[in-house]
Structure 1
Amino acid sequence: MTINWFNDFYKHIADSPLSHWLEVLPAQVAQWQQAQLHGDFAKWVKLLNKLPDTKPSIINLKDRVEIGSQNDIDEYTQRQIAGLMKQFMPWRKGPFHIHGVHIDTEWRSDWKWDRVKPHIADLTDRYVLDIGCGSGYHMWRMLGENAKMVVGADPTQLFLIQFQAIKHFLPHANVHLMPIGVEHLPELNTFDTVFSMGVLYHRKSPIDFLYQLKQQLRPGGELVLETLVVEGDEQTVLMAGERYAQMRNVWYLPSTDALKVWMSRVGFKNIRVVDVDQTRLEEQRATEWMTNQSLKDFLDPNDINKTIEGYPAPLRAVLIAEK
Structure 2
Amino acid sequence: MTQDEIRRRVEALGEWFHDMDLGGVRTAPNHFLWGYPEAKFKHFSHVVPADLTGKSVLDIGCNAGFYSLEMKRRGAARVLGIDSDDRYLAQARLASEVTGLEAEFRNLSVYEVGALGERFDLVIFMGVLYHLRHPLLALDLIHEHVAKDLLLFQSMQRGATEAMTPEGDYPFTETAHFDEPAYPKLHFIEHRYSNDPTNWWAPNAAAAEAMLRSAGFAILEHPEQEVYLCRRVEAPWGAGAAYPVKGPRA
Specify the alignment match of 2:77 in structure 1. Answer: 148
1:179: Cα distance to partner? 1.3
Tell me by how many angstroms 1:265 deviates.
1.5
| Distance in 2 (alpha carbons) for counterparts of 1:192 and 1:209 | 18
- 1:183 and 2:111 equivalent? yes
Q: Deviation at 1:194?
A: 0.4
Q: For residues 239 and 199 of structure 1, do their structure 2 counterparts lie closer, same or farther at Cα, with a shift above 3 Å needed?
A: same
Secondary structure at the aligned position of 1:94 is classed as coil
Give 1:271 shift. Answer: 5.0
Superposed, which structure 2 residues align to 1:5-44 within 5 Å?
Answer: none
Count of aligned residue pairs for this structure pair: 204
Question: 1:50-93 CA distances to partner (integer Å, 9 max, x unpaired)?
Answer: xx4xxxxxxxxxxxxxxxxxxxxxxxx43233223211110111
Amino acid in the other structure paired with 2:222: V
Unpaired segments ≥5 residues, structure 2: 161-181, 233-250
Structure 1 counterpart of 2:197:
248
What is the Cα-based RMSD across aligned positions, in Å? 2.0
Per-residue deviation at 1:109? Answer: 1.0
Structure 1 residue 94: deviation in Å? 2.5
Give the deviation of 1:272 after TM superposition: 4.4
2: CA distance between counterparts of 1:235 and 1:139? 31
1:138 equivalent in structure 2? 67
1:264 and 1:271 in contact (8 A); partners too: no
Matched, 1:274 2:223: yes
Residue 266 of structure 1 and its aligned partner are, at CA, apart by 1.5
Q: Which amino acid aligns with 1:256?
A: A
Q: CA–CA distance in 1 between the matches of 2:121 and 2:189?
A: 34
User: 2 CA distance for matches of 1:262 and 1:239?
Assistant: 15
Q: After superposition, what is the alpha-carbon deviation per residue over 1:189-237, rounded to whole angstroms, capped at 9, x for unaligned?
A: 521110011100011111101112223112xx01111110123213332
Normalising by structure 1, what TM-score? 0.59
Looking at structure 1, the residues matched to 85 and 56 of structure 2 have their Cα atoms a distance apart, in angstroms, of 23
Which residue number in structure 2 is paired with residue 223 of structure 1? 151
In structure 1, the residue matched to 2:177 is none
From 263, 268, 276, the equivalent of 2:212 is: 263
The answer (yes or no) to whether the contact 2:65–2:95 under 8 Å persists in 1 is: no
User: Sequence identity of aligned pairs in percent?
Assistant: 21
Selected match of 1:158 from 68, 87, 100:
87
In structure 2, relative to structure 1, the CA distance for the partners of 1:102 and 1:263 (3 Å cut) is closer
1:1-323 to 2 correspondence within 5 Å? 52=1, 77-98=2-23, 100-105=24-29, 106=31, 107=33, 108-125=36-53, 126-170=55-99, 173-186=101-114, 188=117, 190-214=119-143, 215-218=145-148, 221-232=149-160, 233-276=182-225, 317-323=226-232
The question of whether the paired residues in 2 share the 8 Å contact of 1:234 and 1:261 is answered with no
Shift of 1:123: 4.4
CA contact (8 A) 1:148 1:174 kept: no
| Deviates further, 247-256 or 130-139 | 247-256
Contact (CA 8 Å) 1:157, 1:179: kept in 2 or not?
yes
Q: Where does the alignment leave 5 or more consecutive residues of structure 1 unmatched?
A: 1-51, 53-76, 277-316
Per the normalisation by structure 2, the TM-score is: 0.74
The change in CA–CA distance for 1:191 and 1:273 in structure 2 (over 3 A counts) is same
**Cα deviation code 1:122-147 (max 9, x no counterpart):** 44222111000001112111111222
